[in-house]
Amino acid sequence: MNLPIRQYFRLLSTYLRPQRGKVIFLTLCLFTGIAMQLVAPQVVRQFIDQAQQGSPAAALSRIAFLFLGVTLVSQIVHILSAYLTENVKWQATNLLRNDLADHTLHLDMAFHNENTPGTMIERIDGDITELSNFFSQFILKIMGNALLLTGVLVLLYQEDWRVGVVFTVFALVMMLSLGLTVSLGVRFWEGQREALSEQFGFIEEVLGGTEDIRANGGVPYVMNQMRRHIYQVFLATRKAFLVGNLTWGSSNVFFGISGALALGLGFYLYSQGQATLGTIYLLLHYSNTLQRPLEQLARQLQDLQAATASINRIQELFDIRPKVQEHPAAIPLPGGPQAVSFQGVTFSYEADKPILRDLSFHLPAGKVMGLLGRTGSGKTTITRLLFRFHDPDQGAVCLNERDLRQVKLEDLRQAVGMVTQEVQLFQASVRDNLTFFDPSVPDEKIIEAMEILGLGEWFRSMPDGLDTKLAAGGRGLSAGEAQLLAFTRVFLKDPGLIIMDEASSRLDPVTEQLIERAIDRLLHNRTAIIVAHRLATVQRADDILILDEGEVLEYGDRVALLADPDSRFSELLRTGMEQVLV
């Protein structure tokens, strides 16, 4: 397998460019540190040779103090390099995390349906954390040690060209050997990352269904599955480390050869009168110095296997493109009530399995439509198409006679609001939960909206007002309070079209009456589609649309349909909607 060198440098150049000043300073530190490592043995050689020649103590003391200064500078530079490396790598990888998270948030709903949140956490955070080591090690170790290796070889050539040739051949042979072993482990590291993704996905599913699992006696099955995932991660990790250690193991053989070469060449030159004891020390020290960058390069090449696996998975995610794209010449969508039109819409999630079949209807602006149908009839699909989470296979979905494929996505998402039975609340303040982290919404407007929708008394009981922190998922709130917060959120958004999926079905009668009054205010001068399952819900609808297997079974004015004893709507009311629409 070829290493994706272009991908490496594209990632480095993209995410290190914003920190070019730090990178330049880090490079200077690296050059200084390398210079100190090369100079230090030269100072020691001078001390040995002058001591052997009987130089005065003052001269030897000066050399000793010089060596001490070189050592101190080397340590200071090392500390600065380590600090800058950590700083640069985390800023770079955090930028990469942001870009990857932003990319996935814009992918189609089909992608998110196929990938669990646990899997995505591992791919966005786990893979990039693995890659963070690549950023730091590449800068500090690979580049630094490559320069140190070059410097050592140049100085060895200056001592004796034969010594330089021998160690150049040695370094080339060792690097070739390491290069041949590094690519062997990439696919095993990819397997390990995939096993971890599956494990995190499973854990996320289990944590989300803990109550049902315990209530239905599913704990033994879950634990068996957990052990299976853990064992798969163990097997994949063991294979990756075993194959990766081929790189490290092969380097140990070369280290022994390096020491033997230094001693042999030093003895030969000394016996020929071409080297002093200081020179022999220098050769031996540079031999050890040569081993250090090669050893660390071997370690980094092993880590490079894991980084390559992460880069491949990150690039695969970046390569996924959303099918829903904004048209280059997209037009704005005017505000106010939105007229809704479905014109011969056919749509399927899977090939040859249409959910909607040649569906057509028109809902005038400012009207309320009750949407009825059995489970699987296509009600939810209609709402998803209105948000343009998907595009129809055939036909057109329009707001105010504008095909949604020609409308700016930002305008569309602003023009449509939705309230469902399941309320998504964040671990954040009341203000942020209601405004979706939009600081431009005035506090006065938020408080007024809560008063209008019946949350005034609840708000006044909050210890920190709008700054009161809410728990993720609405823990600590009643179902009614959570639902009222969801209504307030939509009220503040002020959309022209509101979709409600039986939003009051979880509430007690007293709270439901409060919600009904709030809905009257919310729907004033707005278009609404109410996905209904109960008789009380459809009483406010102007029109009724009944779906059956993705087709219009009946559509018309609610009062007219109610007056027609042969209509399907009348039959539903006589039979009981709760029993039929399940």
Concatenating the DSSP letter of every residue in 235-263 gives: HHHHHHHHHHHHHHHHHHHHHHHHHHHHH
- pLDDT, residue 161, reads 84
**CA dist., res. 25 & res. 88, Å (int):** 11
Into which CATH architecture does domain 367-380+416-580 fall? 3-Layer(aba) Sandwich (3.40)
Q: What is the largest CA-CA distance in the chain?
A: 122
- pLDDT, residue 535, reads 64
Q: What fold characterizes domain 5-319? A: ABC transporter transmembrane region fold (1.20.1560)
- pLDDT, residue 369, reads 94
Is 357:548 a contact under the CB 8 Å cutoff?
no
Say which DSSP state 143 is in: I
**CA dist., res. 373 & res. 8, Å (int):** 53
- pLDDT, residue 478, reads 79
Q: Which residues contact 120 (CB under 8 A, 6 or more apart)?
A: 104, 112
Tally Cβ neighbours within 10 Å of residue 75.
Answer: 12
- pLDDT, residue 133, reads 65
pLDDT tens series, the chain, 582 aa: 455 567 777 777 788 788 888 888 888 888 888 888 888 888 877 888 788 777 788 888 888 888 899 889 988 988 888 888 888 888 888 888 899 988 888 888 778 877 877 778 878 887 888 777 666 656 566 777 778 888 888 888 888 888 888 888 887 887 777 666 665 666 787 788 788 878 877 887 787 777 777 766 778 888 888 898 899 989 988 888 777 676 666 666 777 777 677 777 777 777 777 777 777 777 777 777 777 777 677 666 666 766 777 788 888 888 888 888 888 888 989 888 999 999 999 999 887 788 999 999 999 999 999 999 888 889 989 999 999 988 999 999 999 999 999 999 989 989 999 888 777 888 889 999 899 888 889 999 999 988 888 888 888 988 899 999 988 766 778 777 888 888 888 889 889 999 988 655 555 666 677 777 777 888 888 999 998 766 667 888 999 999 998 999 999 999 999 899 889 888 888 776 654 454
- pLDDT, residue 579, reads 47
Say which DSSP state 468 is in: P
Domain ranges of the chain: 5-319, 367-380+416-580
Is 317:103 a contact under the CB 8 Å cutoff?
yes
Tally Cβ neighbours within 10 Å of residue 106.
Answer: 12
**CA dist., res. 41 & res. 44, Å (int):** 5
Q: What are the beta bridge partners of residue 397?
A: 342
- pLDDT, residue 582, reads 46
SS (H, E, C) 211-239: HHHHHCCCHHHHHHHHHHHHHHHHHHHHH
